[in-house]
Structure 1
Amino acid sequence: MNQFRKAPSGILGFPIAPFTVNNKLDEKLLAQNIQFLLNEGLEAIFVACAAGEYPSLSKEEYEAMVEVAVTVTNGKVPVYTGVGGNIQTSLEFAEISAKKGADGYLILPPYLVTGEQSGLADYFKTIAESTDLNAIVYQRDQVSLSVETLETLAEVPQVVGVKDGLGNMELNTLLTQTFKQRFGWLNGMPLAEVTMPAYVPLGFNSYSSAISNYIPHISRIFYQSVLNQNQETVNDLYQHVILPINNIRRKRNGYAVSLIKAGMEIMGLPVGQNVRKPIQPVEREHYAELETILKQALDRYPKPITAKSL
């Protein structure tokens, strides 16, 4: 029975799903991706989530990804999986996560349909209560959680956190002031570094970092600078790294996933450019732009040499 009821804090790692040219999951490259994130000190691993192209995974691939993550981390950090969308599939994947030894799961919003708040509460509650694993509920896209919905979920011990991907700061202020430390608060906005300085004062103490798949040391410098109120460094990182990457990311739908793979390849962590429909690989000109940004970023913020990197 999982009795440690607390959401992970800090910078959260979201590994990608590496696919071969034959559209098969490459478990070896996935293991390398996760080990890299561990070596870089990320505080938790969230596998088979949006960055891992969750909607495109078969049951067998999902099982394999969870097993690889649990094996590689070996208890060093919590492992969370992605569940959500179809309620029946969610329940099945939640059970797989429990059997494979994950610590919890991130419950993604229901797919396509929009329900009343009572229906959303029942959706998240049903999945959360289906196992003893910790659960983090994710508001994004068409799903915005009310105080009443979170009051219902606050009665479920398994629900340890709320992840926000909407950016409605009025709502976030209301929710954090109402529930305070009952939940852990996670920033799940696209390229969360862009918004993290606005989230920290509200009590958000963790965020999902896409760029940590390829420049984790810069994500760490940024977050520490935010926490230490080192505005000069924050501004410099915004100008020369974070906003330029975000500008590319916003040019095409799907770049939230494919740009990660491009960045990894540029940084010598080759996972290929293979993505699953409807996502498309990064276009050549945008790839070249990212190469330039990352070269300049490393010139300004070289990666420290550590024993693990030798």
Structure 2
Amino acid sequence: MSSMTRVPRGIIHCPVTPFDPANAVDLDTFARVVEFLLRQEPAALCVNLHLAESLNLTLEERMVLAEAAVAVAAGRAPVIVNVSTPGTDQAITLARHAEKVGADCLMAITPYHWKPSQDAIYAHFAALMTASALPMLGYNSPHAMGGIGFAPATLVRIMRDFPRFIGLKEASHNWETYVALGRAGRSVMPDFGLFVGTEWMIPSFTLGGVACMSIQGGVAPRLVKALHEATVSGRLADALPLQEKLAELFALAMPEYPAPSKAMWEIMGRPVGKPRLPNRPLGPDEVKALEGALARLGILDGEPHGWD
């Protein structure tokens, strides 16, 4: 069993999934992605998220990527494997594999499309945690997943029955929900690891968050790190302009997500291929406009270029 007993404090970086010109997973480039993110001194890595186009990967591809991430990380940072699927049996397959290849922690979203009841959400997580000895992070994103998320009472029930449920990625961007779920988690585990799913660090950390799961760490790692350091040290006047800049970057990344993120990786000298359909790649004019926005934000000149 993993020794992870709490959510790692700091920035959790999230690799994208590179594809080659034949639309196959490019493991050589994936290793470069992981190495680049490891050089940013992450608190942990989390693989096979939606940023990584997990919904367009086969279970076999997700298992290959999880194993590759563990191998490349080689203990330099904990590896969290996202095992989210609509079906419990598929998630169990991914969870058992992640444990077998040496992952440090699992993460799973409330099952989507099916609109499960709170009892069904409990049963889903109970089955996952019974199938694996790894610690577990929940993932709450009801707006993206058909309106179904954790109720605070369900979170408490899961945590009381399964103490290895150590944290929650709360990605609703509804701060009332964020506070309610954080309060529920801390009622069972004072060290409960609440965190936000993107770089909204000022509201996240000031409302009880402990980490940031970054989607922009592969594009602007210095900006992400600077915002984190300013926020957790209480220098909110310094943090605010950085937060505003990352809010603009977030807005640029959202249309046809994650295609703009992949384009940004390439603009910064780290090409990772096109997204898989139905996500289309950005056209030349869109890339040019994105490059102009990165220049205006100071990212083009202020952040590392290339893989080194």
Deviation at 1:38, TM superposition (A): 0.4
Q: Is the 8 A contact 2:4 2:105 kept in 1?
A: no
Alignment of 1:148-167 (within 5 A): 148-155=153-160, 156-167=162-173
Q: Deviations over 1:15-66 (max 9, x none)?
A: 0110111110000100000000000111111111211111121233122201
Q: Is the 8 A contact 1:248 1:286 kept in 2?
A: no
Tell me the distance in 1 between the aligned counterparts of 2:98 and 2:298. Answer: 37
The answer as to 2:110 corresponding to 1:109 is yes
1:138 paired residue number: 139
> For 1:122, what is the secondary structure of its paired residue?
helix
Structure 1 residues 146 and 60: CA distance shift in structure 2, 3 A = closer
The answer as to 2:178 corresponding to 1:169 is no
Deviation at 1:84, TM superposition (A): 1.9
**Aligned partner letter, 1:212:** G
TM-score, normalised with respect to structure 2: 0.89
Tell me the distance in 1 between the aligned counterparts of 2:284 and 2:243. Answer: 24
Q: Deviations over 1:234-286 (max 9, x none)?
A: 333345x3233233234x2x32x1122111101111112x1112212124333
Tell me the distance in 2 between the aligned counterparts of 1:304 and 1:19. Answer: 22
**Aligned partner letter, 1:162:** L
Deviation at 1:82, TM superposition (A): 1.2
Q: Deviations over 1:128-185 (max 9, x none)?
A: 2210111101111323212220121112022111110112222222232233235211
**Aligned partner letter, 2:282:** V
Alignment of 1:203-214 (within 5 A): 203-214=208-219
Structure 1 residues 60 and 145: CA distance shift in structure 2, 3 A = closer
Deviation at 1:303, TM superposition (A): 4.3
Structure 1 residues 74 and 21: CA distance shift in structure 2, 3 A = same
Alignment of 1:232-247 (within 5 A): 232-239=237-244, 241-247=245-251
Q: Is the 8 A contact 1:16 1:53 kept in 2?
A: yes
2:222 paired residue number: 217
Comparing 274-283 with 292-301, greater Cα deviation is found at 292-301
Q: Is the 8 A contact 1:129 1:158 kept in 2?
A: no
CA RMSD of aligned residues (A): 2.2
Q: Is the 8 A contact 2:110 2:149 kept in 1?
A: no
Deviation at 1:207, TM superposition (A): 1.5
Determine what percentage of the aligned residue pairs are the same residue. Answer: 24
> For 2:217, what is the secondary structure of its paired residue?
helix
1:59 paired residue number: 59
Deviation at 1:304, TM superposition (A): 8.1
Number of matched pairs: 298
Tell me the distance in 1 between the aligned counterparts of 2:248 and 2:49. Answer: 25
Comparing 144-153 with 129-138, greater Cα deviation is found at 144-153
2:194 paired residue number: 185
Deviation at 1:72, TM superposition (A): 0.8
1:15 paired residue number: 15
Structure 2 residue runs of 5 or longer lacking an equivalent are none
> For 2:22, what is the secondary structure of its paired residue?
coil
Tell me the distance in 2 between the aligned counterparts of 1:53 and 1:130. Answer: 25
**Aligned partner letter, 1:31:** A
Tell me the distance in 1 between the aligned counterparts of 2:298 and 2:246. Answer: 13
Structure 1 residues 275 and 304: CA distance shift in structure 2, 3 A = closer
Comparing 257-266 with 227-236, greater Cα deviation is found at 227-236
> For 2:83, what is the secondary structure of its paired residue?
strand
**Aligned partner letter, 1:169:** W
